[in-house]
Chains A and B, each alone.
Chain A
């Protein structure tokens, strides 16, 4: 079968949406990162079950915990932004609402990410 793509288009490999495998790749990249980060998060939460405020704050002000939590926040928020975008694009067919929901999705993920990161930094730098 004849290939209608130009040699330049083939080399760039970006397809008609001009994004190539960018969405897929970042979705998988954050998924790989999420595996160890979520295992850390589960371990941290379990270790804090039933803990008093002082103990929670002292754990959350540990620099390694802060760094790992920032990693969790970045990777998880990015991953969920990409995932929800696919869900929106699959089920919302009218162009206007689709764009509106994709924007709302980004705002939600950025808000969750910023609020969590602010809390982690505040605790990390000593409340």
Chain B
């Protein structure tokens, strides 16, 4: 048997599919997913800025897109991703100081991250609609 074939037959360590999802694990995954979403979402921010610098007609068109139901849905998702990634980042700052690793505390913190991101997103959208 060649070396490559032997390597293919090596047993693998247990991976994601075998574990029951727990809050800290799910929030860790969500932190990465929201980060990736924000990465591509910066394109929208650059597009909006660019349109404001380009011409009034083009800006009106871009603004109309963001005001449409699809645009609002994207912006709502963007707001939540931003809030979730922000909360996850603050959690990492706490961990960077060496604190907050206790099992029960970190689980509560994971739930708090989600609670913060959902409530702050709703609050921001209420403010946005109120000041309009």
Q: Chain A residues near B82 (CB, 8 Å)?
A: 38, 42
A interface, size bucket: 20 to 34
Check A49–B131 contact: CB distance below 8 A.
Answer: yes
- The complex places the Cα of A116 from the Cα of B60 at a distance, in Å, of 18
Which of these, B50, B56, B86, contacts A116 with CB under 8 Å?
A: B50
The answer to whether B36 and A87 have CB atoms under 8 Å apart is yes
| Nearest-Cβ distance from residue A16 to partner chain B, whole angstroms | 23
Interface of A is mostly: helix
**Does any Cβ of A come within 8 Å of B124's Cβ?**
yes
Is the C-beta of B71 less than 8 angstroms from some C-beta in chain A?
Answer: no
**Is A60 within 8 A of B52, CB to CB?**
yes
Q: With A38-B82, A84-B36, A120-B49 known to touch, is A53 a contact of B59 (CB < 8 Å)?
A: yes
Instruction: Find B59's partner among A47, A56, A122 (CB 8 Å cutoff).
Output: A56
Asked if A74 lies at the interface with its beta carbon under 8 angstroms from chain B, I say no
Residues of the A chain whose Cβ atoms lie less than 8 Å from the Cβ of B46: 112, 115-116, 119
Asked whether A46 lies within 8 Å of B89 as measured between CB atoms, the reply is: no
Residue B39 interfacial (CB < 8 Å): yes
For residue B43, CB closer than 8 A to chain A, the reply is: yes
CA distance A90 to B53 in the complex (A): 38
What separation, in Å, do the CA atoms of A50 and B128 have in the docked complex? Answer: 9
Q: A119-B52, A122-B53 are in contact. Are A34 and B89 (CB under 8 A)?
A: yes
- In the complex, which of the residues A32, A49, A120, A122 has the most CB atoms of chain B within 10 Å of its own CB atom? A49
B128-A46 in contact (CB<8A): yes
CB closest residue in chain B, given A54: B56
* Contact mask for chain A residues 6-18; partner B; CB cutoff 8 A; 1 contact, 0 none: 0000000000000
Chain B interface residues toward A at CB < 8 A = 32, 35-36, 38-39, 42-43, 45-46, 49-50, 52-53, 56, 59-60, 63, 82, 86, 89-90, 92-93, 96, 124, 127-128, 131-132
Would you list 20 pairs from A and B whose C-beta atoms are within 8 A, ordered by A residue? A42-B124, A46-B131, A53-B52, A53-B60, A56-B52, A60-B49, A60-B52, A60-B53, A77-B42, A80-B35, A80-B38, A84-B36, A87-B35, A112-B43, A115-B49, A116-B46, A119-B49, A119-B52, A119-B53, A123-B49
